[in-house]
Amino acid sequence: METIISVSNLHKSFKSLKVLQGINLDIEKGSIFALLGSNGAGKTTAVRILSTLLLPDSGTVNVCGYDVVHLADDVRSCISLTGQFAAVDEILTGRENLHLIGELKRIPNLKNKVCKWLDTFDLEDAADRPVSTYSGGMRRRLDIAMSLMDSPKVLFLDEPTTGLDPQNRIAMWELVKNLAIDGTTVFLTTQYLEEAEHLADKIAILHQGKIIAEGTPGHLKELMPQRGAVIDFASEADAEKALQILKDNNIIVDAITQKLPTLEDVFLTLIGEKKEESDNA
C-alpha cells in the first residue's frame, strides 16, 4: 500500500513542556487512522504540525509526498482540516457557507459542487436556512462538507464527534467510513475508545507525547495476555454444571466465543503501565 503520511522522530515542546517526544508514523493512502489519547496527550499538536499550522522542533513530516516545513503550500493543496469546533458562519445559510469556501478556493463548477455536498451530508432541506438554526450534528456535517469542497486527498478530523449526541455520533461515523471508501485518507484524533475501534483501520495510542502502542484494533487487543471464552448453555441448569462433566452429561453448548479484552482494557492497561514506569524512574 502507498504511504501518504510519514512522520519520523517528531518533537515539539512549548518552553519546558515536552508535548511530542519522538513520534513515528506511517499511514496508508485511503485508510482511516486514529490517534487515540487522553486530553493533553498531544493529539491536537500533532495534527497542527501535520496540517502546516505549527512548526516542529525537529524530525521530518511528509504529507502527500511533500515536506510540511519546506513545501507547506503543496501540503495545503492536498489536505483539509476540521478542528474540534465547527468553523461555520452562523449568519450565512448552509448553502452560502459552502459557496463562500468554493469561491475562496476558486473551485470550478461551483453550483453543482455545492448541491453535491448538501445532498451527500443530508443538508438539502436546511440548505437555505441560517446556520444559527442548525443542530450541533448539522453544523458538524456542514463543517466537514466545507472541508471537502475541493476534494482533498487527506482529511484531518480533530475530535470530530465532540459534543454530539449518540445518534449524531453514529451518523458521523458512517460519513467518515464512506469518505474512506471513496478514497479519502482520514486522520482523526479522538479520546473515545469506541470511536477508534469502530472506525479505524489502524490506531496509535499517544501518551505523554509518545506512541506507546500501534496497530489494528485486533492487534492491540492481542497485546493483552488475558484470554478466555464465553459459553452459551442451552439452559441455566446446564450453566451451573461444571465444565469437566459436559461430555458425560451430554450437555449441549449453543456457542463458544473467544473472549478478547476490549480496546478500553488495552488503553487503560498500557497507560497504567507507563505511569508505573514513570513513577519508578
The pLDDT of residue 262 is 67
Q: How many CB atoms lie within 10 A of CB 150?
A: 16
Name which of 188, 142, 147 is nearest 5 in CA terms. 188
Looking at residue 23, what is its pLDDT?
Answer: 95
- CA distances to 42, 79, 204 from 213, in Å: 15, 26, 6
Domain borders along the chain are 3-93+132-222, 228-280
Alpha helix locations (H) across the chain?
43-50, 72-78, 94-104, 110-120, 136-147, 166-181, 193-199, 217-222, 236-240, 263-280
Q: Cell for 237?
A: 441448569
Lowest mean pLDDT among 101-105, 148-152, 173-177, 220-224: 220-224
User: Taking a C-beta distance cutoff of 8 angstroms, is the pair 268, 212 a contact?
Assistant: no
Determine the CATH number of domain 3-93+132-222.
Answer: 3.40.50.300
For residues 176 and 187, is the Cβ–Cβ distance under 8 A? no
SS3 155: strand
What is the per-residue pLDDT across 234-248, written as a single tens digit (0 to 9) for each? Answer: 777 766 667 657 667
Closest CA to 240 of 256, 229, 251, 254: 251
Q: What is the pLDDT of residue 63?
A: 97
Please write down the long-range contacts of 180-185, taking CB distance under 8 Å and 24 or more positions apart: 180/30, 180/31, 180/32, 183/30, 184/30, 184/148, 184/152, 184/153, 184/154, 184/155, 185/4, 185/5, 185/27, 185/28, 185/29, 185/30, 185/31, 185/32, 185/33, 185/153, 185/154, 185/155
Percentage of the chain beyond pLDDT 90 is 48
- Segment 240-262 mean pLDDT: 64
Look at residue 200 in the predicted model and tell me its pLDDT: 93
C-alpha to C-alpha distance for 229 and 252, rounded to whole angstroms: 16
Whether 31 has a pLDDT exceeding 60, the answer reads yes
Joined together, the cell numbers standing for residue 53 give 499550522
| Per-residue confidence (pLDDT) for residue 274, from 0 to 100 | 59
Q: What type of residue is 232?
A: D
In this predicted structure, what is the pLDDT of residue 252? 67
pTM confidence score: 0.78
